[in-house]
A = this chain, B = another copy of it.
């Protein structure tokens, strides 16, 4: 099976065979995690960065009250903590939301890439910059949209991202997580998540049963979410 990071980068620019080989060889080890396992903890100083090969992970922070906020979802092909190569100390934890398989890339290897492969460096930089754009969009949703709008937006985003990673079909995608986790993503209580889901289902926009999310009416879902995939930067052009 080919490395999903290569798929992700090739969606945005051409890669030479040498560059693909560099990426393939960068992974020194693969590891698996079960839902709820921490891949990395806040305060760690990892010496490798983690690439999601399969499953979903989340970045999160905990507050004094014990509340959790998830700040990002990572799908296959995402370099979860690529920034730890530059930041050194983790300012947040990373948890497996579903069963996960990940690849580890030593920071030394990344550093060598930045010395020898300027184009690949720009593409890796790009992938952190796209993450940043997703964060900004989430901020807009959190600050100015209703709970239903936010939920609809999340579904739209995950659908497009999973699709581009080859992990969704025409009808929907697997999302085997709890309503509480969904609340931690959207900044809502699990009770309210439940009610919002019922409304969206009542309106025929989505259904979500047995860990499988099905899209009922993409156009209206998209309208509810005011979703514009622009910020995901799924455009192929020279970088």
Contact = CB atoms under 8 A, between A and B. Distances in A.
Contacts of A65: 144
Given A91-B233, A132-B83, A136-B71, A142 B142 contact: yes
B136 A128 contact: no
A159 B27 CA distance: 41
Interface in A128-142: 128-133, 135-140, 142
B118 A115 contact: yes
Taken together, the copies of this chain in the complex come to: 2
A86 B142 contact: no
Contacts of A64: 226
A143 interface: yes
Contacts of A33: none
A114 B124 CA distance: 12
Interface in A48-68: 59, 61, 63-65, 67-68
A226 B136 contact: no
Contacts of A175: none
Contact of A114 (B67, B69, B87, B118): B118
A209 interface: no
Given A91-B231, A139-B138, A142-B139, A86 B122 contact: yes
A87 B239 CA distance: 8
Given A135-B135, A144-B187, A239-B86, A122 B114 contact: yes
Contact of A63 (B63, B135, B226, B230): B226
Contacts of A137: 61, 91
B129 A69 contact: no
Contacts of A83: 129, 132-133
A168 interface: no
Nearest to A82: B129
A8 interface: no
Interface in A111-168: 111, 114-115, 118, 121-122, 125-126, 128-133, 135-140, 142-145
